[in-house]
Structure formats: structure tokens, C-alpha cells
Amino acid sequence: MALQIGVLGYRFMGRAHSNAFARLPMFFDDAPDIERHTLVGRDEGALADAADRFGFANTETDWETAIDEVDVFYNLGPNHLHPEPSIAALDADVPVFCEKPLAPTVEDAERMAEAAAESDAIAGCAFNYRFVPAIQYAKNLIDAGELGEIRHVRGRYLQDWGTDPEDPWTWRMDEELAGSGALGDLGAHTVDLARFLVGERAGDIERVSGHLETFIEERPVDGSDETRPVTVDDAYSAQAEFAGGAMGTFEASRMASGHKNDHTIAVHGSEGSLKFSLERLNELELLREGDRGYETVLVTDESDPYVEHWWPPGHVLGWEHTFVHEDYEFLSAIAAGEPYEPSFATASEVQRVLGAIERSDERGEWVDVE
């Protein structure tokens, strides 16, 4: 029997996951059967149009009603809407998939993780970059000890959509709605990737030193002569110490002119190094002990993670495919009754790191991740 999917949110992430739902049966023969059942939103007109385009049979303006009608609930709304609908679904033992960051605050993230622990349902968080084949390839190399002792982890996520002070205010610029700015929106991805890649070898992040900055403190309101204050960060940077002694450096910005979606991560060990860039997501730069320089590995062979489901070797994949892989893993876990990662517990740990970076900026000193 098909899993009936309910989705809260029909804009950026709603479109990305709806596209993934449509692709699953085309390319993953063992994917569970699903039905795009209910799309949830506030604007009835826009909602009906989106449901028609995305292939949903029903619409609903009340998320509580939708939870009662579906087998799986995707919470893809703004950050401030992550806690309550997700907790309600878990209380009803309905599996939940929630966008990142898990919540606006550490306290909310912990409430969500606690609800997941007490529920019989699976709860997953949307860190889709884990499911890039090159990242999976890198993870396998690191876990196998190919890089030796991990010494450095460097991650950055640079965008430039906020550089123009005349660009309009959005919910992402409000602390009450978003929790934080570049730190939560972009930094969450970097912190999760760092923990995912080196956690088995370097341990967890134990303490951090952070710096947050807001460059443009107010923005015009679209369609009016008013302005609203920007109450979140435009950029952050942080140093981190891993339990095993490795050093981490992370940064993200919405003000990095010339960078559209530049997410990079590098890992340096005693016996080798690797580098990854989202802008070249089919490639992994790899240096092994004794090499004179980096080798570019094209991660598109049939033997590479997920690639057998797609095109012949050498035919590259893209950003949208990460959602197909992510949804395949999550929905397959539900069908099999097995755990899923990244879980709410894992996402809550990421939130604790982000919270520690904020506390460090406020105090002007290194702080422990609590």
C-alpha cells in the first residue's frame, strides 16, 4: 500500500521535494510506493495551483488536519514553523521529515529531538548534501583511514544574494522567524557535513570561537515605502576544536560578491587530504601520501554511491538529485521500519554547535558546546 505523503510548504523546498517524489519510481526500482496526498499552505489560490503542478491530490490550510490524513509528514515551512507541527506529528506517531536548521533555537531543537525519542515514528532532518555521491565517496575514504589522523577540517558556504541593500526584507532576516541568518541557513549544512565526514575519526566538536556580523541593518519592505530591521547575521566565521584534537574553521556569508552557491569543505589528515565544492559536485579532489598534487576523481561510475540508479558513467548529476537520494533513504527507512540519519537527535547536536557559536560571539570568548 502506498505511503500517503503530506507536505507543509510549496515554495523552494516544496518544489525540490515534489520533483524528487516524481523521480523516485523512474530511477529507484526498490523505492516504496508513495502517493502525493496533501499539500499544506495558507494562500488557497497559490496552494491549489502548486498542488496541480506538483501532483498532489488534496490541499489543506490547516496542518493539524493534514497530519490526521497522511502516513508521512514533510515539514518544509519557515524555521519558526518547524517545532509545533513536527512535534504534533510525532505525538501522533506520524514520521516527520523536517527542513534544516531543525529549529530556530537550541531549546526548540531539543524539544523536537525529545518528541522523536518518545515517538514510535521516524524523524529525519534535511541535510541533503550528505547524499551527494562525491560526499559519500569521501566519507567512505575517511572512515577507512585513507587520510590517517584528521588534523584540519575547513568549510565555507558563500552566497551573494544579500549584497544589494535595496533587496527586499524576507522572513530569513528576522530572528523570531528564522532564529539566525547565514549561521543557521548555511552554517548548519557545513557543521553537519563536518560532523558527518570526520565524526568517526576525529570525534565531535567540543568548543568553538565565533564571530557574527550584520552588514545591512534594515531592508525595504517589498511593495511599500517602509523598511524593517534585519535582526540576524549576514555572515559568520568560527573556529572549532574536535574531541580528537583536529582543528576546524567554518564560515558562511550572504554578502560574498560573485559567489552564488559556493559550498566547499576540505579535510586534511596525516596521510592525505580531500576537497569538495558544491559548484563541481561530481568531483572530489584527492591527495594521498606520496602524491605530488591533488588528483581529480570524477565520481560518476556505476560503482559510486547512488550512480547506478541514474545515467551511464560520466553523465553528471546535479543539485536536484541530492533530494531524490535523500527522500529515497528516508522513505525506505519508513517502509522497512529502520532508523534514519540524519535524525532529529543528530540535527539537535548541530543546533547545539550553532548555539555555541552565537554564545561565543556574545561573550567574546571560546565556549564549550553544551
CA distance 162 to 224: 19
**Coil/strand/helix, residue 48:** helix
pLDDT, tens only, 183-220: 999 999 999 999 999 999 999 999 999 999 999 999 99
CA distance 224 to 27: 47
pLDDT, tens only, 58-68: 999 999 999 99
Please state whether 245 falls in left (phi above 0), alpha (psi between -120 and 50) or beta: left
Average pLDDT of the chain is 97
pLDDT at 1 over 90: no
- The count of residues in the chain is 370
Give the domains, in start order, of the chain with CATH numbers.
3-128 (3.40.50.720), 129-313+345-363 (3.30.360.10)
Q: Given this model, what pLDDT does residue 139 score?
A: 98
CA distance 358 to 370: 12
**Coil/strand/helix, residue 305:** coil
CA distance 230 to 166: 13
Q: Which residues are within 8 A (CB) of 162 and not within 5 positions of it... i.e. 6 or more apart?
A: 216, 234, 254, 255
Helix residue spans in 35-99 (DSSP H): 44-54, 63-69, 83-91
**Coil/strand/helix, residue 160:** coil
CA distance 31 to 163: 42
From 47, 85, 91, 36, select the one nearest 65 (Cα to Cα): 85
pLDDT, tens only, 135-155: 999 999 999 999 999 999 999
Q: Are 190 and 267 in contact (CB under 8 A)?
A: no
